[in-house]
Amino acid sequence: MRTLLSNLLDKFKQIYELIEIIKIYLQTFNNSKKQMKYIFLDEITTIENWQYPIKFLVDIGLLDNSMLILTGSSSYDLKSSRERLPGRKGFGKDLVYLPISFREVLKTLKIDIEEKDIIEILSMSEEELKTLQFKYSYIQKYFLKYISCGGFPKIIDEFLNNGIISELTKRTYKDFILGDAEDKNYSQK
């Protein structure tokens, strides 16, 4: 039997709360030291310095035989924080699922926009900026839909075509991520 902790952390802000959630889970479901434990912590980046309690729990052995799946809105924080956990990754792999960019969405919709870097934009006159804004004003509706979908292709497609994201699609993405993480764990054994 597998045990799974899944917790959305956007309501928690303190390091001690993260430690307590994991400790309570481990005390409640730690029937066997050999049994793999799956700990899914969503929005870990909402807790400042989250890597320190993870490091502490690994160092004292509470996360032995556990697979942690950490997600967050700040990919930069996830990447830089994992670098602060040397030697504590075990034999697992880092799996990174990045959404597609807004530019890629526009390309799939066959909407072509000219690329401008920040220096070009800053050097434009007020009149040129107004013209540019008017020229691309129709794109705003696509951007609002894009940020509602998180940049995942199937979700974007459903939302653009149906105005909603089905429970099946939500479940599919969840199962895909958890299943892939589990497969990577077993391939290491």
Q: Cβ–Cβ contacts within 10 Å for residue 147, how many?
A: 10
Residue (of 59, 60, 62) closest to 88 by Cα position:
59
| 189 in the same domain as 168 | yes
The per-residue pLDDT for 5 is 56
Instruction: State which of 55, 71, 90 marks the end of a domain.
Output: 90
The per-residue pLDDT for 123 is 93
Task: Give the domain CATH number at 49.
Answer: 3.40.50.300
Instruction: State which of 90, 107, 122 marks the end of a domain.
Output: 90
Name residue 45's beta-bridge partners: none
Boundaries of domain holding 60 = 3-90
Total domains present in the chain: 2
Contact (Cβ atoms closer than 8 angstroms) between residue 4 and residue 38: yes
| 117 in the same domain as 135 | yes
CA distances from 65 to 14, 30, 44 (A): 25, 11, 20
| 167 in the same domain as 119 | yes
| 170 in the same domain as 126 | yes
| 75 in the same domain as 144 | no
What is the residue-level pLDDT of the chain in tens, covering all 189 positions?
444 555 556 666 777 888 888 888 888 776 566 778 888 887 777 788 888 888 888 888 888 888 887 777 666 666 666 666 655 555 555 555 567 788 888 888 888 888 888 899 899 999 999 998 899 899 888 888 787 776 777 777 788 788 888 888 878 777 766 665 554 554 444
| 122 in the same domain as 80 | no
The per-residue pLDDT for 88 is 55
| 115 in the same domain as 30 | no
Instruction: State which of 48, 68, 90 marks the end of a domain.
Output: 90
The per-residue pLDDT for 169 is 80
Separation of alpha carbons 10 and 12, rounded Å? 6
